[in-house]
Amino acid sequence: MLRSLSETLTRCVGFLVTKRITEEQFHKIDVLHYEVENKLLRLVQSLQKKMDEGTWNDQVFEEIEDYNP
């Protein structure tokens, strides 16, 4: 995931250099890139901590019975 995010920013730098986007547009993209990257890093750290503590739950959804009392 993080690799794809870095590739996206690299492409945006190319767009900036070739004048396909403005400095203002690039700045907005860069800010969003920074926010998403940090959130992904925190998510990875959180998941690694859960795995280390043995509290990792790999079930994506609850059983259907949980929704039909």
Q: What is the pLDDT along the chain (69 residues), one digit of tens a residue?
A: 667 888 999 999 999 999 999 999 999 999 999 999 999 999 999 999 999 999 887 776 666 776 666
Is there a domain that residue 61 lies in?
no
Q: How far apart are CA 41 and CA 32, in angstroms?
A: 14
**Looking at residue 1, what is its pLDDT?**
63
What one-letter code names the amino acid at 58?
D
Other C-beta atoms closer than 10 Å to the C-beta of 60 total 5
**Looking at residue 53, what is its pLDDT?**
94
Is there a domain that residue 21 lies in?
yes
Q: How far apart are CA 52 and CA 49, in angstroms?
A: 5
Residue in the structure block whose two tokens are 């690299």: 10
How far, in Å, are 23, 43, 49, 65 from residue 52 at the CA level?
43, 14, 5, 30
Is there a domain that residue 14 lies in?
yes
Is there a domain that residue 58 lies in?
no
| pTM confidence score | 0.69
Is there a domain that residue 22 lies in?
yes
**Looking at residue 9, what is its pLDDT?**
92
| Number of domains observed in the structure of the chain | 1
Is there a domain that residue 44 lies in?
yes
Which domain does 13 fall in, by range? 2-53
**Looking at residue 67, what is its pLDDT?**
66
Is there a domain that residue 66 lies in?
no
